[in-house]
């Protein structure tokens, strides 16, 4: 079986000033130090990239953006580009988060173009997929999630897609305190991996990290990460304090060492 390095990613969303971001990143970096058995990244708001990068210096914690445009530059008021993310030191970028799909009109085609642009610039895309409560109750979870996977990967081959990370985030579990049961998350993760294999081959599918997101916290991280196809976590609320995020990184380390 392919051994996948677990990834614990913090999505700070629209939270924290530069000083607050520095303090949080510094506390996480101090705990993690220079070597880590799993990967850990934090995703601050863009105005804090430089400060957070400095706080993470010398630690194994990486920097993630929360969104990007697909173009490199030009007349796109208010956007950031993969080129600028690289310039700011971001090695990862969350894309297709349900909040962006829901509130900012992000489409499957836009997400697909962002995947391609990030891959060209060697920024790891963390591609979010997930169903709403209504869709789950109507038995459409796999249709929705696998449809998002198909759309986001169309036109790219397994070589180009090598670094892709997928995050399964049921919308009803985000910020609600409700978490998918570990077995339910596993079922969806296994279906995603199965579809990735059908689309671009088993060996690539076996190497792709599939994170779970949606009310991950220290008390449920180990159980979720004990599932065979849950390779990490995308963490919102619990990534905003060292007391919550550090134990989730530690759960990632336990998974890596298991």
Q: Which residues are catalytic?
A: 97, 169
Q: How far is the CB of 78 from ligand PGA (least distance, A)?
A: 21
Q: Is 39 in the site for ligand PGA (CB under 6 A)?
A: no
Q: Which one, 52 or 171, has the nearer CB to ligand PGA?
A: 171
Q: Is 11 in the site for ligand PGA (CB under 6 A)?
A: yes
Q: Which one, 238 or 256, has the nearer CB to ligand PGA?
A: 238
Residue 221 and residue 15: Cα distance in Å, rounded? 22
Q: Which one, 6 or 214, has the nearer CB to ligand PGA?
A: 214
Q: Is 232 in the site for ligand PGA (CB under 6 A)?
A: no
Q: Is 7 in the site for ligand PGA (CB under 6 A)?
A: no
Q: How far is the CB of 239 from ligand PGA (least distance, A)?
A: 7
Q: Is 131 in the site for ligand PGA (CB under 6 A)?
A: no
Q: Is 213 in the site for ligand PGA (CB under 6 A)?
A: yes
Contact 233, 216 (CB under 8 A): yes
The residues that touch ligand PGA, with contacts defined as CB under 6 A, are 11, 169, 174-175, 213-216, 234-238
């Amino acid at each position: 079986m392919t051994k996948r390095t677990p990834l614990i990613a913090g999505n700070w969303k629209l939270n924290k000033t530069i000083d607050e971001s520095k303090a949080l990143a510094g506390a996480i970096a101090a705990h993690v130090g220079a070597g880590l058995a799993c990967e850990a990244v934090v995703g601050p708001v863009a105005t804090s990239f430089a400060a957070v990068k400095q706080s993470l210096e010398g630690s194994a914690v990486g920097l993630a953006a929360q969104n990007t445009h697909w173009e490199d530059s030009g007349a796109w008021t208010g956007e950031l580009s993969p080129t600028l993310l690289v310039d700011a030191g971001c090695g990862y970028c969350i894309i297709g988060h349900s909040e962006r799909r829901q509130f900012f009109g992000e489409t499957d085609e836009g997400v697909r173009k962002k995947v391609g642009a990030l891959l060209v610039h060697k920024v790891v895309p963390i591609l979010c997929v997930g169903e709403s409560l209504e869709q789950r109750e109507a038995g459409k979870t796999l249709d929705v999630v696998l449809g998002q996977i198909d759309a986001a990967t169309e036109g790219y081959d397994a070589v180009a897609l090598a670094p892709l990370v997928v995050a399964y985030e049921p919308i009803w579990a985000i910020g609600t305190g409700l978490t998918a049961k570990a077995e339910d998350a596993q079922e969806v993760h296994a279906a995603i991996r199965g579809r990735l294999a059908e689309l671009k081959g088993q060996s690539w599918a076996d190497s792709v990290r599939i994170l779970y997101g949606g009310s991950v916290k220290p008390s449920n991280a180990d159980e979720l990460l004990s599932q065979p196809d849950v390779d990490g976590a995308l963490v919102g609320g619990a990534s905003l304090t060292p007391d919550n995020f550090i134990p989730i990184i530690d759960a990632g380390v336990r998974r890596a060492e298991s």
